[in-house]
A and B are shown apart, each in its own frame.
Chain A
Amino acid sequence: MTTFDNHRVTPWILLAPQLLVVAVFFFWPAFQALQQAFYVEDPFGLGRSFVWFDNFTRVLASPEYHRALGVTVAVGVGVAVGAMALALLLAVLADRVIRGARVYRSLLIWPYAVAPAVAGVLWMFLFDPGLGIVSHLLAGVGVRWDHHLHGDQALALVIIASIWKQMSYNFVFFLAGLQAIPRSLLEAAAIDAAGPWRRFWSITFPLLSPTTFFLLVMNSVYAFFETFGTIDATTAGGPGGATRTLVYKVYEDGVIGYDLGSSAAQSVILMLLVGLLTLIQFRYVERRVQY
């Protein structure tokens, strides 16, 4: 018992593993990146010089960076809207299923368990210009699919693969949200002469708004950062930078191009962006829809 009497030390001991993980895998690299962002390093890593904000101004002025920002926004909006709309549709349908509901739901949740890279490869094969089933079918309706050549098709592929991956996550939340809506509200609305369509938009959808907003934030973060694996496996940022998102550019410039200063500066900008998104989320969570 005596060991537990020292209440000032115990909490720290209990927290230590977590703190250690956070320190080693987050604070230390973040600090490194922040420091790196103010230096220019020679390609052999022999020496570096302090350049103030040069890296930042260079990055922010670069047209390639602007393009990557545009791609990121396109992927973000495409994935968030697509994954949420599809998940909501499936959740509404699943909510009505009575027989075999559990099997149906489990199947819909599976894609979430697939690693991003695997998902990427899966979709790459489906859309492969020579072998893919989907591209074959598309050829049948006169669409020449080759995401190795066409930037917009590559972008579409990345978005589709990411949507497929993220949909399960959204589905779980939407289904839980739908099941939390009291049946009697929808019955009252039915008696109040609202048809199914009107019921959905005037009762169900507003009551789901906390879930929807939460998912919007989560999906944006996902689309910004976690699409990396999918992009790397399907298009590797190409063709010609058509699917090069901000995160992918950090990787390309740093790991492949070995421009550590620029890469670090981009990481710092990304961190600020995440911070901003998180802030919006917290502000929102604090003052949820009032009802």
Chain B
Amino acid sequence: MATLKLTALEKTYPNGHRALHGIDLEIDDGEMVVVVGPSGCGKSTLLRCLAGLETISSGELAIAGQRVNELEPAARDIAMVFQNYALYPHMSVADNMGYALKNRGVPKPERRRRVAETASLLGLEALLERKPGQLSGGQRQRVAMGRAIVREPRVFLFDEPLSNLDAALRVQMRLEIRRLQKRLGITSVYVTHDQVEAMTLADRLVIMNGGRIEQVGTPLELYARPRTRFVAGFIGSPAMNFLEARVKDGEIIVGDGSVLAPAADIQGSIAVGIRPEHLRVVDAGEADLTARVEMLEPLGADTLAYCRVSGLSLPLVIRLDGGAALAEGQTLAVKLPLSRLHLFDLDSGERLPWHSPETSIV
């Protein structure tokens, strides 16, 4: 159990590719931090630098206040769960779990006891004598977890541990990982590109893009106040809608001319963000926009309506109640609640400071 501190951490691969551009991050003792971002943004690289599998090019990594840049993976006292599990195929489940203890010179009786304890925690008692090749994907995943837990390391690292499982099992294992992490209270860094997984597991979320951290915060903070358009589009499912708009004479004008709201201190072209679940269908009189339904996606509890709005290039996605009577081709009168709008600079993608006339709910 330990804190983790990353200061201006950089990684340049031998081929000259700069995968991490100065990462600053502090992780508290016992905290679960989830790193999320699109493919190739450097999540695995970051994790491998923490583990000591890649050398850190510059900057500092400290575990429990002590610099560990130069330490071998074994000396950092971390455990890692790999995406492909990396179980030793020629060893039984018990040997897989006991391997690290054996290498650290833990005597056999204690090793056996600790493996048995961990196995019962994960429901693996019946599988201890099997080889990894004789296990299902979910069971292998559990063994990989067990191998990490049994050591009682200072830090857990997870690299997309659930991405090889089917959807139902993924939900189940997600809950289980959360439960175990809380119970053991071990500082954890969890990498995923699944934003639902990220939202549900994280104490704090780190959004990465192109080798940089875009934003750090609790899942709800990021949902409510994304600092950039990238974060806004990345967090939340279905993704936030972005409407091209311009500010003229202190007013925000969307699409083919609807005036949305006053905006005193902003100039030029902007993007207006609004989440599908925050759009409201209203009577024609109160509407800000009219949208034509092009496609419906009934999900049971909700229905997603993909709509076309004249003057806007992107379709507008609206999340509606599953029971609503809708048909493709229908027109909807849509209202954009001002307190739910996010304004972003069109070029830099930065969030623009703006206080909506309505009081913010968050």
Interface residues of A (CB under 8 A from B): 182, 184-185, 187-195, 198, 202-203, 206-207, 209, 289-291
Contacts and interface: CB of A to CB of B under 8 A. Distances in A.
B74 to A, nearest CB: 4
Interface in B67-126: 72-74, 78-80, 82, 84, 86, 88-90, 99-100, 103-104
A188 B74 CA distance: 10
B131 A190 contact: no
A191 B80 contact: yes
Contacts of A202: 99
A190 B100 contact: no
Contacts of B80: 187-188, 191
B177 interface: no
Contacts of B53: 187, 190-191
B133 interface: yes
27 contacts: A182-B84, A182-B86, A184-B82, A184-B84, A185-B89, A187-B51, A187-B53, A187-B73, A187-B86, A188-B80, A188-B82, A188-B147, A190-B73, A191-B51, A191-B73, A191-B74, A191-B80, A192-B100, A192-B103, A193-B100, A202-B99, A203-B88, A206-B90, A289-B90, A290-B133, A291-B131, A291-B132
A280 B80 CA distance: 41
Interface of B: 51-53, 72-74, 78-80, 82, 84, 86, 88-90, 99-100, 103-104, 131-133, 147, 151
Nearest to A185: B86
B49 to A, nearest CB: 13
Contacts, number: 64
A24 to B, nearest CB: 46
A194 B86 contact: no
A203 B84 CA distance: 17
A193 B103 contact: yes
Given A192-B99, A203-B88, A289-B90, 18 more contacts: A184-B86, A187-B51, A187-B86, A188-B82, A188-B147, A189-B88, A190-B52, A190-B53, A190-B73, A191-B51, A191-B74, A191-B78, A191-B80, A192-B74, A192-B100, A192-B147, A202-B99, A206-B90
Contacts of A189: 88, 99
Given A189-B99, A190-B74, A291 B86 contact: no
